[in-house]
Amino acid sequence: MARASSWAGNLDTIGVTLLRQIDPTLNGNNILVAQPEALIAANAFEVNPSAVGQSQSLFTWISTNGTATTFPNAVGVESGHADSVGANFYGASTGVAPGVGHVDNYDADYFYETIISAASPATIAARVVNQSFIFDSEVSSVDQNYDDYAADHNTIFVSAAGNGGPISSAATSYNGLGVGVYGASSSMGPTSNGRCKPDLTAPGGATSFSTPYVAGAAAVLVQAANRGDGGANVSAASDLRAIKALLLNGAVKPSNWTNTATHPLDLRYGAGILNVFNSWKQLSGGKQTFAETTSHVSGGVHPPGSSTNNVASLVGWDFNSITNFKVQGNYQDRIHHYYFNVPANGGNSFALTATLVWNRAAGKSSIEDLNLFLYSATSGSLVGSSISTVDNVEHLFLPKLPTGRYDLQVMKSASGVTSLNDTETYALAFEAFNLKLNVARTDNSLVLSWPVSPTGFSLQSSTNLSLPTWGNVVTPVTITNNLNVVTLSTTNAQRFFRLQRP
């Protein structure tokens, strides 16, 4: 077991510190969660409430030995691993979601055998389940059981990928979130059938401790969705597909992050480094539906349509269903079109991130084939695509998008469709942004400012642009009117500034 790393720095990195500055009430309030733990010694799976700064009334401990509501108890004994996981998940001073409503702390073997793989699984109360353990390898039956449970019960499973070598179950399940660790040894994809895993990374020193950061972020987003931050359609905003799409789309890309049209996520980092603030801002952008639907010959071209309507904002999400129809005896590809304008902004280009998520249906060994495209609505030319045939996630990242009108397309392929009105439900999260660094001078001070959203950027400076050596500006950042503000003393020395992500 690796030691959990610096809590304060990690909470900064994953956007928790900024989120709490903007809204301190976003702490996973009243969300029910579960923490199955693998035994590290005889009966050792339990979180000690005092180790995470929480009351014992927050917990129920469950194993083959029974159920307990007080600590210590006869059901099991304390696990240092469980304490560290809990500290990052819901620890009173160190966790992402210290306000959770209840924690069911299970022995992992009991949890899997009596709930997940049971012939008639019981419905657990938890919306978010953190699993900082692995099955030692990728096991298709394990993934199938988790996928079936998630699809039937809308439960968000967040599972550790492993600390090296091939990625293991349950992180390889389709419907869950597989988590790697950023900045340390971590298992990486692809899965045995070529899918991109992990879905996300987070700091923490080992995947046992990066995973609860993602689970805590999921609990925070469910809380935000339940209270209406994403709009009136709470059931859509809090659906596991919407939460997963928002978490992936809010992630910050490391400098060496890469993907391809057929491998939508980086095989080391997934969508990138967790940033719950970015995900929450995208949720707050609201549900935005498509402008029009078109059908095209299977495998043929599908250019922008004729609608002049645009989405209401350049940041937001949707939760919708898409259906193939039969035309003249043949099923056709079905397209949902989301149009938007990238405005002129002093010649600076925008960055676009879009993520499409759908479930593997309960009882199914395969998935529907959905794809994500970006077209220029003016020229009709293809700008980018995510067209994996094996993943149930598609992801676009286009860091330099010029001014113009665009068509973001969700396509349901007719390939393999055999029944009339074949339908799939999906979640889409998207954001297009341009982050402008503003500079103003007041007397003996230089004031630099930029928007708080999206976050994940550092202010850097150099004294030379010919052969620049960029270093982080260490002056503290303050927040005023949703702007990051840095105030520096003026000098006679020449200095250049930029905003830089990892």
Question: pLDDT of 230-284, one tens digit each?
Answer: 999 999 999 999 999 999 999 999 999 999 999 999 999 999 999 999 999 999 9
Q: Which amino acid is at 360?
A: R
**Is it the case that residue 3 has pLDDT exceeding 60?**
no
* C-alpha span between 72 and 92 (Å, rounded): 20
Q: What torsion do the CA atoms of 221, 227, 233, 237 make, to the nearest 10 degrees?
A: 0
Identify whether the C-beta of residue 55 lies closer than 8 Å to the C-beta of residue 180.
no
Q: pLDDT by residue (tens digit) across 311-349?
A: 999 999 999 999 998 888 889 999 999 999 998 876 667
Identify whether the C-beta of residue 445 lies closer than 8 Å to the C-beta of residue 487.
yes
* C-alpha span between 131 and 161 (Å, rounded): 10
Q: Which residues contact 24 (CB under 8 A, 6 or more apart)?
A: none
- Alpha carbons within 13 A on the beta-carbon side of 381: 3
* C-alpha span between 241 and 238 (Å, rounded): 8
Confidence of residue 492 (pLDDT cuts 50, 70, 90): confident
Please give the pLDDT value at position 347. 61
Tell me if the bond preceding 344 is cis, omega within 30° of 0. Answer: no
Please give the pLDDT value at position 416. 82
Please give the pLDDT value at position 490. 83
Please give the pLDDT value at position 465. 85
- Kindly list the domain boundaries of the chain, sorted by start residue: 7-284, 292-433, 438-500
Look at 36-40, 73-77, 89-93, 484-488 and tell me which has the smallest mean pLDDT: 484-488
Nearest CA-CA partner of 370 in 353, 395, 387 = 387
Q: pLDDT by residue (tens digit) across 82-123?
A: 999 999 999 999 999 999 999 999 999 999 999 999 999 889
Mean pLDDT along residues 115-136:
95
Confidence of residue 495 (pLDDT cuts 50, 70, 90): confident
Look at 165-169, 420-424, 427-431 and tell me which has the smallest mean pLDDT: 420-424
Nearest CA-CA partner of 187 in 99, 106, 117, 270 = 270
Q: Which is it for strands 102-107 and 326-327: parallel, antiparallel or unpaired?
A: unpaired
Nearest CA-CA partner of 244 in 318, 362, 370, 156 = 156
Identify whether the C-beta of residue 378 lies closer than 8 Å to the C-beta of residue 404.
yes
3-state DSSP call for residue 83? helix
Please give the pLDDT value at position 481. 86
DSSP β-bridge partners for residue 317 = 287, 429
Distances in Å between the alpha carbon of 484 and those of 153, 206, 313, 316, 321? 41, 31, 22, 22, 39
When the pLDDT of each residue in the chain is averaged and rounded to a whole number, the result is 94
* C-alpha span between 248 and 242 (Å, rounded): 10
Give the tokens for residue 53.
Answer: 């700064």
SS (H, E, C) 221-288: HHHHHHCCCCCCCHHHHCCHHHHHHHHHHCCECCCCCCCCCCCCCECCCECCECCHHHHHHHHHCCEC
- Alpha carbons within 13 A on the beta-carbon side of 3: 2
* C-alpha span between 212 and 208 (Å, rounded): 7
Identify whether the C-beta of residue 126 lies closer than 8 Å to the C-beta of residue 35.
no
Q: Percentage of the chain surpassing pLDDT 70?
A: 98
Same fold across 7-284 and 292-433: no
Identify whether the C-beta of residue 54 lies closer than 8 Å to the C-beta of residue 82.
no
Identify whether the C-beta of residue 245 lies closer than 8 Å to the C-beta of residue 269.
no
C-alpha R_g of the chain? 23
Please give the pLDDT value at position 176. 98
3-state DSSP call for residue 87? helix
Candidate CATH numbers 1.10.357.10, 3.40.30.10, 2.60.120.380, 2.40.340.10; the one for domain 292-433? 2.60.120.380
**Is it the case that residue 2 has pLDDT exceeding 70?**
no
Q: pLDDT by residue (tens digit) across 171-189?
A: 999 999 999 999 999 999 9
- Sign of the four-CA dihedral 373, 379, 381, 383: negative
**Is it the case that residue 406 has pLDDT exceeding 90?**
yes
Confidence of residue 397 (pLDDT cuts 50, 70, 90): very high
Q: Which CATH class is domain 7-284?
A: alpha beta
Give the tokens for residue 30.
Answer: 């009243």
Q: pLDDT by residue (tens digit) across 275-314?
A: 999 999 999 999 999 999 999 999 999 999 999 999 999 9
Q: Which is it for strands 156-160 and 128-131: parallel, antiparallel or unpaired?
A: parallel
Phi–psi pair at 67, nearest 5 degrees: -130, 140
Mean pLDDT along residues 422-443:
90
Q: Which residues contact 255 (CB under 8 A, 6 or more apart)?
A: 501, 502
Identify whether the C-beta of residue 10 lies closer than 8 Å to the C-beta of residue 204.
yes
